[in-house]
Amino acid sequence: MLRPLQKTDVPVLVTIEHTVQVSPWTEATFNTCFQSGYTGWVIELDQQIIGFIIVSMTSVECHILNLCVTKPQQRRGFGKQLLHYVLMEAKQRNIGISYLEVRRSNRPAISLYQQLGFKLVGERKNYYPGEPQHEDALVYARSLV
């Protein structure tokens, strides 16, 4: 079941983040998302959250900020389902473009984004902090018109 993200979901999302993300978001980061009016959805399986997506939507663009699927449920189409849902939602709101940043090394995510029609439009050098070195972000965009 896909449903809107709620504030009470945050502890579960933090746990998922720590198991799948290179630089996991903290509870404070998620709370900032709520304060900023960002939008999110989760996918549940057997009443457990197994994936989520968080986006910032304005009247002109839909910025994908985070997308995660729990390890055991990866490669079963849930990431694609979440992203596809958001793109349809943005389209219905007459938003013209969606874009996102992704780590250069994140092949699974890049493959997913390309599969849903995102094209490489740029890169941001050393966008992601890290030890021993920072990592570049690739910027992907997809027209929704």
* Site for ligand COA contains 79 (CB under 6 A): yes
Contact 142, 118 (CB under 8 A): yes
Contact 71, 50 (CB under 8 A): no
Of 104, 107, 119, 134, the residue at the interface with ligand COA (CB under 6 A) is 107
Contact set for ligand COA, span 28-47 (CB under 6 A): none
Q: Name the residue nearer to ligand COA (CB basis): 21 or 94.
A: 21
Q: By C-alpha distance, which of 90, 108, 2, 106 is closest to 51? A: 2
Q: Would strands 97-103 and 135-143 be described as parallel, antiparallel, or unpaired?
A: antiparallel
Q: By C-alpha distance, which of 4, 80, 78 is closest to 40? A: 4
Shortest Å, Cβ 20 to ligand COA: 4
Q: Which of 44, 61, 101, 135 is flagged as catalytic? A: 101
* Site for ligand COA contains 76 (CB under 6 A): yes
Of 47, 75, 125, 132, the residue at the interface with ligand COA (CB under 6 A) is 75
Q: By C-alpha distance, which of 120, 105, 61, 51 is closest to 87? A: 61
Residue nearest to ligand COA (CB): 79
Residue positions annotated with a catalytic role: 101, 113
Residues interacting with ligand COA, by CB under 6 A? 20-21, 66-69, 74-80, 102, 106-109, 111-112, 115
